[in-house]
Amino acid sequence: MALVTLKELVQRAYKSDYAVPAFNIHTYEDALAIVKGAEEMRSPVILMASPSAIKHLGIKLAACIINDLAMNASVPVVSHLDHATDMDVIFKAMKEGFTSVMYDGSNLSFEENVQNTRLVVKVARSFGISVEAEIGRVGKSEEGEQLEQILTEPQSAKGFFEQTQVDALAIAVGTAHAMQRQEAQINFERVRQIQEVVDVPLVLHGSSGVPDEDLTKISKMRFGKINIGTILKTVYVKKIKEIVLNNPGLKDQIVLLKDASMAVTEIVKGKIKLLNSSGRV
Footprint on this chain of Zn ion (rule: CB under 5 A):
205
Instruction: Give the span between the Cα atoms of 217 and 204, in whole angstroms.
Output: 12
Closest contact distance (angstroms) between CB of 52 and Zn ion is 11
- Please identify, using beta-carbon distances, which residue of 137 and 205 lies nearer to Zn ion: 205
Read off φ and ψ for residue 212, nearest 5 degrees.
-50, -50
Q: Cβ closer to Zn ion: 22 or 257?
A: 22
Residue nearest Zn ion, Cβ-based: 205
Pick the catalytic residue from 17, 30, 68, 82: 82
The CB-of-251 to Zn ion minimum distance in angstroms stands at: 38
- For the bound state, the minimum distance from the C-beta of residue 205 to Zn ion, rounded and expressed in Å, comes to 3
Which of these, 229, 174, 237, 227, lies nearest to 205 by C-alpha position?
227
Is 92 or 205 the residue whose CB approaches Zn ion more closely? 205
CA distance linking residue 77 with residue 133, whole number of Å = 20
Which of 105, 23, 20, 91 lies closest to 59, judged by CA? Answer: 91
Measured from the CB atom, is 7 or 205 closer to Zn ion? Answer: 205
By beta-carbon proximity to Zn ion, the closer residue of 225 and 239 is: 225
| Cβ–Cβ < 8 Å for 160, 172 | no
Nearest of 81, 96, 67 to residue 2 by alpha carbon = 67
Residue 93 C-beta: closest distance to Zn ion, Å: 16
Query: Contact, 11 vs 225, CB < 8 A?
Result: no
Q: Is 82 a catalytic residue?
A: yes
Exposed e or buried b for every residue in 79-91, given b needs 16+ CB within 10 A? bbbbbbeeeebbb
**Using an 8 Å Cβ cutoff, are 151 and 190 in contact?**
yes
- Least CB distance to Zn ion at residue 104 (A): 8
In angstroms, the CA 233 to CA 241 distance is 12
104, 85 contact by CB (below 8 A):
yes
- Which residues are the active-site residues? 82
